[in-house]
Amino acid sequence: MAGRRRASEHGVVVVCLLLVSLVACGGRPTAADTARADVQRVLDRRATAVLDRDGAAVARTGTADWWKDLSAVPLASWSYKVTAVHRSGSTATADAELRYQVQGYDRAPVTVARTMNLSLDAADQWYVRSEKPARKAPQLLWDQGQVRVVRGRHSIVLGVGHSGEKLHSFADLADHAVPAVSDAWGTKWAGHVVVLVPKSLDGMAGLLGSPASSYRGIAAVTTGETGAPAQAPADRIIVNPDAYALLGTLGRQVVLTHETTHVATRADTTAATPLWLSEGFADWVGYRDTGRTPAEAAPELSEAVSAGRVPAALPSDADFGFGGSATGLALSYESGWMACRMIADRWGEGKLDAFYRAVGTHEKRRGAVEEAMAKVLGTDLKAFTAQWQEYLRDQFG
């Protein structure tokens, strides 16, 4: 036993000497390392002040002009992680990841890249002079102005540049959409939505980090990761107020229900799911209880089929690109909707849901639709396409 103790003691001495040697070899932290740690501490205080809703404390860490723009947003978390600091004398630029959660909606933080410009103050402490989206990163709604918040029974609506009455109209639409989607899809999803209403098309584009030309004429889009796990940030339904204003009452409701469907089906929508199915299913739910006939809801497809131009195949993903013609895009959406409508009519709504889910269980696109058709619908793609073409002739002939 004594020999073992001595060996253990020697081992401790060796380890301690090794640790001392490593510390000595490492040397003192560099100025850049010190600046990074100091900036992180400032941003930690800033995050705490945001969560405490303490505007004065936010101001003590730097510029607080944006605080009033954010202050109405209910937050469950807010933190920064500094990833790099570029110092030049008494100024510095920091790259950071902002993580935040909207209370009651986000099950995990939204992560966005931010850029901070800082200066040393009279007390030699870092002071945030500006905070903005990193290069090529999307804006946050409060980057565009003061956010107004309206709550519905099944929704929270965050808007910039709109009256409370206008935002309440979106909450009403979302509150109608959520039960409609649950009735068609089931209740195993969050059962509520987050709706963002920027001031204009340019604001929408800023939130998506894309050119405005990509979304002109698009009333709304939904952001989210396909196949997202249960612990994921809530999808955001982002409205284009310019295009929305051109829609009638029914059109506005159909759009919100369509986008809410994307929220509900997100976990079952994967890389294997073709756009004709995901977009067609969302339109099917959107129109499901409206009483609209195929000719009324699909005018471009109706005109094409009536003129003898029956599509040769279901639309490809490329056919849904926003950069194409408006007519071509409409034909793609309407074709997908009619395919899903045919499944609901001929196989039943339950089979349509099961087919959608079955396609999404595949990891890759290849063979996913074909296998799901065989398993759920008892058919193959060639026969299905022929049935769909005949269905179009029946509905629009």
Give how far Cα 262 sits from Cα of 130, 182, 234, 270, 286, Å. Answer: 36, 12, 11, 12, 11
pLDDT band at 4 (very low <50, low <70, confident <90, very high): very low
Q: Is the pLDDT of residue 3 over 50?
A: no
378 phi-psi bin (left φ>0, alpha ψ -120 to 50, beta other): left
- Listed in order, the ranges of the chain carrying CATH 3.10.450.50 are 31-137
CATH number at 138-264: 3.30.2010.30
Q: Which two tokens stand for residue 73?
A: 């947003």
- Listed in order, the ranges of the chain carrying CATH 3.30.2010.30 are 138-264
Regarding beta strands 110-120 and 193-197, do their DSSP bridges make them parallel or antiparallel, or are they unpaired? Answer: unpaired
Q: Is the pLDDT of residue 230 over 80?
A: no
- Based on its alpha-carbon atoms, the radius of gyration of the chain, rounded to whole angstroms, reads 27
pTM of the model: 0.88
Q: Is the pLDDT of residue 5 over 50?
A: no
Coil, strand or helix at 136: coil
Instruction: Give the mean model confidence (pLDDT) for residues 331-341.
Output: 97
pLDDT band at 363 (very low <50, low <70, confident <90, very high): confident
Phi/psi at 116 (nearest 5 deg)? -115, 130
Percent of the chain whose pLDDT exceeds 70: 89
Q: What is the pLDDT of residue 12?
A: 36
Q: Which two tokens stand for residue 290?
A: 């409206």
Alpha helices in the chain, H assignment, sequence order: 2-26, 31-51, 55-60, 67-70, 164-185, 201-208, 241-244, 249-265, 275-287, 294-297, 299-306, 326-346, 349-360, 368-372, 381-396
Q: Reading across the β-sheet that carries 147-151, which strands appear in turn?
A: 147-151, 155-160, 193-197, 236-239, 220-223
Whether the CA torsion 311, 315, 318, 323 is positive or negative: it is positive
Phi/psi at 271 (nearest 5 deg)? -60, -20
Gap between the Cα atoms of 228 and 230, Å rounded:
7
pLDDT tens per residue, range 231-260: 678 999 999 999 999 999 999 999 999 999
pLDDT band at 33 (very low <50, low <70, confident <90, very high): low
Cβ-based neighbours of 188, under 8 Å, separated by 6 or more: none
Q: What is the pLDDT of residue 397?
A: 78
Q: What is the pLDDT of residue 225?
A: 66
For domain 31-137, give the fold: Nuclear Transport Factor 2; Chain: A, (3.10.450)
Q: Is the pLDDT of residue 180 over 80?
A: yes
Residue 278: Cβ within 10 Å count? 25
Phi/psi at 159 (nearest 5 deg)? -135, 160
